[in-house]
């Protein structure tokens, strides 16, 4: 057994939900993660504004413990506007105007379920029901999309997907857009369900609409004997 495998959870102190800390212990002690921490500290020391706030970086894991994940909704970067990012992919805090991609998600819900379009873009309700709202990169510099890509976060979130694929069964992975679909290689499709569609961004020209993924997800969960997701945001 190598050194990283014998490290106790007491030797690292990521502010993350305990079940995830146990599953990801080797990631937190890996060299790439140490380099990532050093990069984030350098951003702070140089006066850069980073989103989301430090205590919310691992919010997706805090809301959705490892054994409670039923659905994974993969995003790319946190929102880079002030007050938008709070650690959940596609979500914004209550009181913040929903961005265009999220508005299109709500329009798809209207198509599938007839829900009225909400003004609130906070998706914590989904996270609490077992939807892991995971961005591939968990931080971003203010006003600079993609600024924290290729700094180590992708190694970490790939590990998250692999651990779910290997140790869990029957999870629905929602892969919207080419970036998310590139992660399909990490998922054992003989154990899990993969639903692919265009990205909900307006840049996709409406190709996301009528994908039916919200209803399809609930059909799968029902077949698996799991409680369906109440997707309605009010």
Active site residue 77: yes
Strands 140-141 and 172-176, by their bridges, are unpaired
- Give me the DSSP letters along 29-85: TSHHHHHHHHHHHHHHHTT--EES-GGGTTHHHHHS-GGG--EEEEESS---STTT-
Let me know if 43 is exposed, middle or buried by CB neighbors in 10 A (0-12, 13-18, 19+).
Answer: middle
| Straight-line distance from the first to the last Cα atom of the chain, in angstroms, rounded to the nearest whole number | 51
Which residues, at least 6 apart from 196, have a Cβ–Cβ distance to it below 8 Å?
Answer: 175, 176, 181, 184
* Distance, CA of 102 to chain centre: 14
Q: Which of 31, 62, 77, 188 is catalytic?
A: 77
Contact between residue 220 and residue 227 where contact means Cβ atoms under 8 Å apart: no
Which among 168, 145, 144, 148 is positioned nearest to 156, based on CA atoms? 148
Alpha-carbon dihedral 211, 217, 219, 221, rounded to 10 degrees: 170
∠ at Cα 135 (80, 29), nearest 5°?
110
Contact between residue 229 and residue 131 where contact means Cβ atoms under 8 Å apart: yes
Which residues participate in catalysis according to the annotation? 77
């Amino acid at each position: 057994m190598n050194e990283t495998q014998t490290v106790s959870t007491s030797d690292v102190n990521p502010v993350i939900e305990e079940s995830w800390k146990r599953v990801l212990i080797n990631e937190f002690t890996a060299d790439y993660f140490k380099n990532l921490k050093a990069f984030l500290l350098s951003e702070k020391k140089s006066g850069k504004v980073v989103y989301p706030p430090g205590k919310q970086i691992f919010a997706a894991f805090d809301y959705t413990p490892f054994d409670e994940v039923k659905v994974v909704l993969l995003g790319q970067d946190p929102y880079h506007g002030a007050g938008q990012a709070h650690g959940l992919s596609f979500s914004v805090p209550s009181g913040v105007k929903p961005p265009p991609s999220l508005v299109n998600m709500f329009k798809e819900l209207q198509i599938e379920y007839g829900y009225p379009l909400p003004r609130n873009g906070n998706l914590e309700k989904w996270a609490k029901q077992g939807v892991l709202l995971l961005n591939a990169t968990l931080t971003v510099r203010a006003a600079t999309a993609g600024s924290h890509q290729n700094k180590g976060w992708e190694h970490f979130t790939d590990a998250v997907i692999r651990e779910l694929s290997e140790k869990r069964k029957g999870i629905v992975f929602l892969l919207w857009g080419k970036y998310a679909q590139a992660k399909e290689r990490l998922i054992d499709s003989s154990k899990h369900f993969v639903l692919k569609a265009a990205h909900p961004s307006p840049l996709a020209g409406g190709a996301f609409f009528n994908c039916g993924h919200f209803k399809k997800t609930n059909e799968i969960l029902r077949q698996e004997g799991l409680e369906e997701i109440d997707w309605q945001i009010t």
